[in-house]
Amino acid sequence: MATLLRVPEVAAGATEAILSQWLVEENASFSADQPLVVIETDKAVVEVPADTDAVLLRRLVGGGTPVEVGAPIALLGDASEKDGDVDRLLAGLGVSVAGAPSADGRPRVAGNGGGRVFASPLARRILGQAGLTPDGVAGSGPGGRIVRRDAERAVEQARASAVPTAPDPAPVAERPAPTRERGYREIPHSRVRRAIAARLTASKQSIPHFYLKRTARIDALLDLRRGLNEVSAQKISVNDLLLRAVALAHVAVPEANAVWTDDAVRVFDSVDVAVAIASERGLVTPVLRDVQNAAPGAIARRTRELIGLANEGRLAQRDLEGGSIAVTNLGMYGVEEFAAIINPPQSAILAVGAGLPATVVVDGSVQVATVLTLVLSVDHRVIDGALAARWMDALVRTLEQPLRLLA
């Protein structure tokens, strides 16, 4: 029986993606779990597998095309339908074909007949909030489907036409000549930048943040790092040791290894830690798994692998999911202290500044030590102040007694 292959929700909250590449030719058979198509989101490249054995009867969208989540992208069927009337099969599934052919000569998907205007749910919501309907809005999505950018353009045009033209003001004596507007350039928003903006805006609006600050003396940690790098095949950074310390703090205070859901607080058994990476394609936060059981060298190796995948745009969706905490480090840029925004659904993010020399009092005497400033942003729905303070204390104790990292 013929069915439609639709764009899955490959990232939480995503409404649009790019159909990057087809992996199966038309009229070719495929088996269950075989990858059919590559979908690119703002942060990951995801292969979409087949649910069952079938035949790809027709591609409805070509490679490189923006597609809305839930939109049909192919017609699937069994071998007996390969020589059948594909247009009739599409019509039977509520999809008609009309208009100019696509780049590969196939008709474009237009709708389900009956004059219905096709628009994504997000586009309909944008239009509805502005008091508009999809009627008369030109769609630029697959088969003329109205997508977000079309709705936003229609809203802007409607607002512009509704603004009355103000009359020219009366002349003013000795009015100074207007200053010429200074030059500027505009950089269009990329999909990554739009996604980051939307996600962090939602985080600050929906998550009750609070912040804790601690400092840690890290001279012993730096000595340990030097010793490890003398024998390790993989160069270990301070950040690699910080990731390990964060995991051990979660082991010491397991109640903090949790996230908020609509129905419950979910407490994890293993410790997965996200690490912020300023990749060549934008900011991403891939997740390291089971860090509580990983040696510093293994953490360093996996982090380098994730950096490489991020720069190449080959992070899989599974690389970006999970974890209850992220670590973001701007110390390499000389930043002394900062507070970060939580990356939902995680419940905390640790902001790490630069290690700098400072005077400290040890046993009543003044000494010079290398001090690191740490700022923890916390979701108050999941973690209260006392729990966060206990977690920070466990982290600082581990950093100041770094042999714990090897236990």
Q: List, by residue number, the catalytic residues.
A: 380
Which helix (H) or strand (E) segment holds residue 151: the answer is helix 148-162
Residue 371's identity, in one-letter code, is: V
Residue 317, classed as helix, strand or coil, is helix
The pair of three-digit structure tokens given for residue 315, joined into one six-digit string: 């992070």
Instruction: Give yes or no for a contact between 280 and 311, defined as CB atoms under 8 angstroms apart.
Output: yes
Please name the residue that has the structure tokens 């840029």: 333
Q: How many CB atoms lie within 10 A of CB 214?
A: 15
- The C-alpha atoms of residue 67 and residue 8 are separated, in whole angstroms, by 10
Eight-class DSSP state of 119: B
Instruction: Give yes or no for a contact between 86 and 58, defined as CB atoms under 8 angstroms apart.
Output: yes
Which helix (H) or strand (E) segment holds residue 307: the answer is helix 296-312
Strand 16-22 with 35-40, pairing: antiparallel
DSSP codes joined into one string, 270-306: S--EEE-EEETTEEE--EES-GGG--HHHHHHHHHHH
What per-residue string of b and e applies to 112-150 under the rule 16 or more CB within 10 Å gives b?
A: eeeeeebbbebbbebbeeeebebeebebebbbbbbbbeb
Burial zone of 57 (CB within 10 Å; 0-12 exposed, 13-18 middle, 19+ buried): buried
Residue 18's identity, in one-letter code, is: I
Q: Which residues contact 199 (CB under 8 A, 6 or more apart)?
A: 13, 343, 344
Residue 346's identity, in one-letter code, is: Q
24, 288, 332 from 301: Cα distances, Å? 34, 11, 19
